Chains A and B, each alone.
Chain A
Amino acid sequence: MIKAILIFNNHGKPRLSKFYEHYSEDTEQQIIRETFHLVSKRDENVCNFLEGGMLIGGSDNKLIYRHYATLYFVFCVDSSESELGILDLIQVFVETLDKCFENVCELDLIFHVDKVHHILSEMVMGGMVLETNMNEIITHVDAQNKMEKSEVRAASEARVLSIIILI
């Protein structure tokens, strides 16, 4: 099971945090800090796995992470997950973000945190992997966007309409 998914930048600023087990808000922040501390001090070409920190899980848990340009993507998982499988999942996540945002960068994650959450929720649900097929994920995201747009349009039309009536 995936216990938590964290994205933070090279300075440890969190850009996304999603916990699938309940922790208090303080503990969540501590976990993010501890994880950043553990991950950021590692060299570039060492392995992508390391034993979890003390806060999240202890010895049964692993941190599996990838470092892309300015961002770290970290998945905290227990032993029931395949390490390489999770690495693939991170890759799928990033590729999907890249497709959805066209050359995703840190700013996209900052300004569209709701979208990132929605994309993630198409892939991982309650700590379990829901979908790994990128096309399928993007189809779902597209469908949502269409709905959103049509609603926005409808709303603006309604507004225009009400103005017309007022006139």
Chain B
Amino acid sequence: MPAVSKGDGMRGLAVFISDIRNCKSKEAEIKRINKELANIRSKFKGDKALDGYSKKKYVCKLLFIFLLGHDIDFGHMEAVNLLSSNKYTEKQIGYLFISVLVNSNSDLIRLINNAIKNDLSSRNPTFMNLALHCIANVGSREMAEAFAAEVPRILVAGDTMDSVKQSAALCLLRLNRTSPDLVPMGEWTARVVHLLNDQHLGVVTAATSLITTLAQKNPDDFKTSVSLAVARLSRIVTSASTDLQDYTYYFVAAPWLSVKLLRLLQCYPPPEDAAIRGRLTECLETILNKAQEPPKSKKVQHSNAKNAVLFEAISLIIHHDSEPTLLVRACNQLGQFLQHRETNLRYLALESMCTLASSEFSHEAVKTHIETVINALKTERDVSVRQRAVDLLYAMCDRSNAKQIVAEMLSYLETADYSIREEIVLKVAILAEKYAVDYTWYVDTILNLIRIAGDYVSEEVWYRVIQIVINRDDVQGYAAKTVFEALQAPACHENLVKVGGYILGEFGNLIAGDPRSSPLIQFNLLHSKFHLCSVPTRALLLSAYIKFINLFPEVKGTIQEVLRSDSQLRNADVELQQRAVEYLRLSCIASTDILATVLEEMPPFPERESSILAKLKKKKGPGTVPDPEDNRKERCANINGATNHSSTTANAKASAPSFIGDLLAPVLPPINRPRPVSSLSLLPTPLTPLSLQAYAMPLSPSAGSHFQVSSPASDLLSLGSASTLNSTPPSAPKASASLLVDVFSDNSPTAPIGAPAVVVADENFSRFVCKNNGVLFENQLLQIGLKSEYRQNLGRMYVFYGNKTSTQFHNFTASVVCQDGLNSQLNVHAKPADPMVEGGAQLQQTLNIECLSDFVEAPVLNIQFRYGGILQNISVKLPVTLNKFFQPTEMGSQDFFQRWKQLGAPQQEVQKIFKAMYSMDSEVTKAKIIGFGVALLDGVDPNPSNFVGAGVIHTKTSQVGCLIRLEPNAQAQMYRLTLRTSRDTVSQRLCDLLSDQF
């Protein structure tokens, strides 16, 4: 018998719906609806009290109207009144209206809460369920406040009906999601875990969902769930499917619960207890075995349910990443699915394999499927599947197969869907750069990219190719030759013209010897494209022309002619006009020497994170773009997703005068944090495409700033702008020479033998953990102030010695000693200080610091001087602490918890509970956490009073990702600080440093 007989519907409602369906036009429909709304409104407002049936009918009509997309701005009150009816039908429709139409900040919530409260205490399971549903569906804060204490009680009460328990578990889960701070953990948590043993599988399923969510946030509180979950899973997996009767779905035993249990287990590392672990492995093996058995039914539902469990088991195996045999079996299973006739399975197999590729145990096994994946790329009809294939190819790429994969991606690009082209372009560009052994291949690949999908090549991609060509001498000639050839094509993409213009402008001389690419031919070739290009490209070409004048004096006349033409000098575009005027003047009045200096080849770009990778990350969301190789090497440490990229590939690139060079370039004012701002961007010098402004300034005072306007080339430069002034390189060798002298002179003057032992002062040390500037030491003679700045694994510290007396200090020396093992972990170079400090004067000393690996101790600054004939010895601990080498990392909640989970091994976590030393002001705490160097992540921790941060410690040898969580407890005046990093020493040291700060 059908559960709903068709005749008992409401006639008025049916008539109304039929009317609407018969409306011939949108206008007619709106008219009919407005008529009905007016009718209902007058009924609601009317004097006559409506009976329950009519209220129900009208509310149903309103629901229907709402579904059609019309606003409903009345009827809420009537619905709330229905809640307090003691008739089930009326109550039910009232709840339905509210859960569909009432949003969480309605002012009716209080009335609704009252009704819910009554129903919860009614002991009528149907009413209780309705009430719990309503709480879960609305889930507002006010509701959480009202019921967060009540719901757990219902959940664990002995006499609660099964169906109510189910609802209560999910209701609690919902409240925990929306307002976690209002759901207190308590003695109910232990009893919730035991629901995993409940007789009723529905209750177990709901409880598993609840525990999974709670365990992600408080893994320790729910550790005991692991053994129970394994036991439960084992019973399901090994049972004959008939045992579970109703929960058997198309011959698969309780698939939904199995999936949930396997998800729960993914919150934890592999169980430590050997027996439990063995039992779990057995379960996973059984699940894998079942996949090979002949299906018990031909129905697609059977295989779906079976495979849902199987895929979840494989995710768990990948998550544990500890059993090589299971991993390889999982990989083989996925390999079978790659060729399955079910599209869904192929899709999921590709997706799972992506994660599998990042495990070192199975990376090779995944690689064996490369042909299948490439084939999928070519033959799949479904773009979703092809997209997964691209992702997998990207994930499985390494040095051995890079050429093949890049070639396949390129050829796919020709026919790829427009929606995913840009992403493929970025991926190809990244792989080509990362795995380039010979850079001619890289250049070819990028030019091919531009040829095939020029419109989808973003600026970052062509900036990058230019950075690389400029930084690598060995490829410049080839690049010039290749772009020259590519430009021969009658129609080339504008991006190619940009690359070509830039490269020929810099390196055209390298191919000018060949009569087929003589200077004049090169120029004519470029200029033939000029008129087809947009303004920014033309501006770039003009810059290339002036570079030509320097490279090839023989074409000077021709180029001047072009610059002088009306279409340039009187161009409507002010940027082009200005360039033409200034370049023309420059070429006329400057001597060849000056020209050669001004138009010198661009200096190499400092290395930094590939802008393309940043772009891809932005596109896909951080964390979703694993850098394949790093992932494998340091899966847990790789908190920063792909940002490690540039350092691991640094060896493949030109070694640029990165940080030191930057600092030496122009005078850099000591910078206070915020650090995420690159020091480069603080440079006062405006940038121009051709290092020109030094010369162009006197010509036209506005030129310096003007050059930048809307010029893409200046963007390119700002990626690595520190050394654009040609005057800087000469100063660099000098400075580094003196730096070398320092190294040698460093050891001699320190701590003369027999000097009285000095106590190392460190009272101000901890004040510098979260800040970089301030007074480090002071006595009646001397004050020592510090200003410091750090970037990645390098730092620079300015030490100011203030003579507080009115007489001179003689024989002043200050040196830095790294004691014990510290000198292998930290390099500190001090420039020698002036031996004489006048009375009342201040002396500045600069220290260059490099972090080689993580460290605990601090270097000591030894100061000696004579004051009034007496030798003074002062030693101060320098506040160079590990956290100074943090780079903050922004990430979303999802990423954060995923990484948090990945760093779940016991030795990776350090926790400390300590008493507050200072007042617990959240703004101060925030400032301190930011000062500590990590990014403060808002909205990640479900409890808004907690603080969560993430960053990466950069040392020369490695990078260590770090996640921080600080939970203040204002009542107890205590803090709980939890740190997770991939390295136990780092966790410990950071915890010690930070816990002293609050």
Which residues of A does B touch, CB under 8 Å? 1, 14-18, 20, 22, 25, 29, 32, 42-43, 45-51, 58-60, 79-80, 82-85, 87-89, 91-92, 99-102, 108, 110-115, 117-118, 121, 125-136, 138, 140-145, 147-149, 151-152, 155
Contacts and interface: CB of A to CB of B under 8 A. Distances in A.
Contact of B126 (A92, A134, A135, A143): A143
B320 interface: no
Given A42-B382, A130-B170, A147-B88, 11 more contacts: A14-B69, A17-B67, A46-B343, A47-B385, A84-B304, A114-B93, A117-B96, A126-B136, A128-B136, A133-B247, A147-B126
B92 A118 contact: yes
A83 B346 CA distance: 13
A16 B621 CA distance: 31
B301 A51 contact: no
B325 to A, nearest CB: 24
Contact of A130 (B4, B53, B96, B206): B206
B166 A130 contact: yes
Given A83-B344, A100-B4, A147-B126, A128 B170 contact: yes
A46 B21 CA distance: 32
Contacts of A87: 304, 308, 344
B308 A84 contact: yes
B246 A133 contact: yes
Which 6 interchain pairs have the tightest Cβ spacing?
A126-B136, A84-B308, A46-B382, A126-B174, A47-B343, A102-B2
16 contacts: A46-B385, A49-B348, A50-B384, A58-B621, A59-B621, A83-B348, A84-B344, A85-B308, A89-B256, A118-B92, A128-B173, A129-B205, A131-B205, A132-B247, A144-B126, A145-B3
Given A101-B2, A133-B247, A155 B17 contact: no
B523 interface: no
Contacts of B52: 155
B173 to A, nearest CB: 6
Given A125-B167, A128-B209, A144-B88, A113 B381 contact: no
B2 A100 contact: yes
Nearest to A63: B384
Interface residues of B, number: 77
Interface of B: 2-4, 6, 8-9, 13-14, 17, 21, 52-53, 60, 63-64, 66-69, 71, 87-89, 92-93, 96, 99-100, 103-104, 126, 132-133, 136-137, 139, 163, 166-167, 170-171, 173-174, 177, 201-202, 205-206, 209, 246-247, 249, 255-256, 259, 263, 301, 304-305, 307-308, 311-312, 343-344, 346-348, 381-382, 384-385, 387, 620-621, 624, 894
A130 B167 contact: yes
Given A84-B307, A84-B311, A152-B8, A131 B202 contact: yes
Given A82-B312, A132-B256, A114 B63 contact: yes
B202 A136 contact: yes
A91 B302 CA distance: 11
Nearest to A1: B177
Given A14-B69, A22-B103, A136-B202, A101 B4 contact: yes
A85 B256 contact: yes
Contacts of B136: 125-126, 128
A15 B384 CA distance: 26
Contacts of A20: 137
Contacts of A127: 174
Contact of A131 (B166, B304, B346, B348): B166
A84 B305 contact: yes
A154 to B, nearest CB: 9
Nearest to A24: B103
B195 to A, nearest CB: 14
A8 B894 CA distance: 30
A68 B484 CA distance: 58
Nearest to B174: A126
B71 A148 contact: no
Contacts of A99: 2-3
A42 B383 CA distance: 9
A18 B67 CA distance: 10
Contacts of B9: 111-112
Contacts of A84: 304-305, 307-308, 311, 344, 348
Contact of A111 (B17, B88, B92, B163): B17
Nearest to A84: B308
Nearest to A30: B69
Nearest to A80: B263
B308 A141 contact: no
A136 B308 CA distance: 22
A16 B63 CA distance: 10
A132 B205 contact: yes
B37 to A, nearest CB: 15
Contacts of B137: 20, 125-126
Contacts of B170: 125-126, 128, 130
Contacts of B256: 85, 88-89, 129, 132
A42 B201 CA distance: 37
A115 B4 contact: yes
A124 B13 CA distance: 26
A110 to B, nearest CB: 6
B601 to A, nearest CB: 42
A148 B853 CA distance: 73
A28 to B, nearest CB: 8
Contacts of B382: 42-43, 46-47
Interface centre among A15, A29, A32, A133 (most CB of B within 10 A): A133
B306 to A, nearest CB: 9
Contact of B384 (A51, A108, A138, A141): A51
A156 to B, nearest CB: 10
Contact of A18 (B8, B69, B100, B344): B100
Nearest to B64: A113
Contact of A121 (B68, B133, B311, B624): B133
Contacts of B93: 114
Contacts of B21: 110
B830 to A, nearest CB: 49
Given A88-B308, A130-B166, A147-B89, A46 B174 contact: no
A113 B3 contact: no
Contacts of B6: 101, 108
A79 B355 CA distance: 14
Given A47-B343, A126-B136, A88 B89 contact: no
Given A29-B69, A85-B255, A117-B96, A49 B347 contact: yes
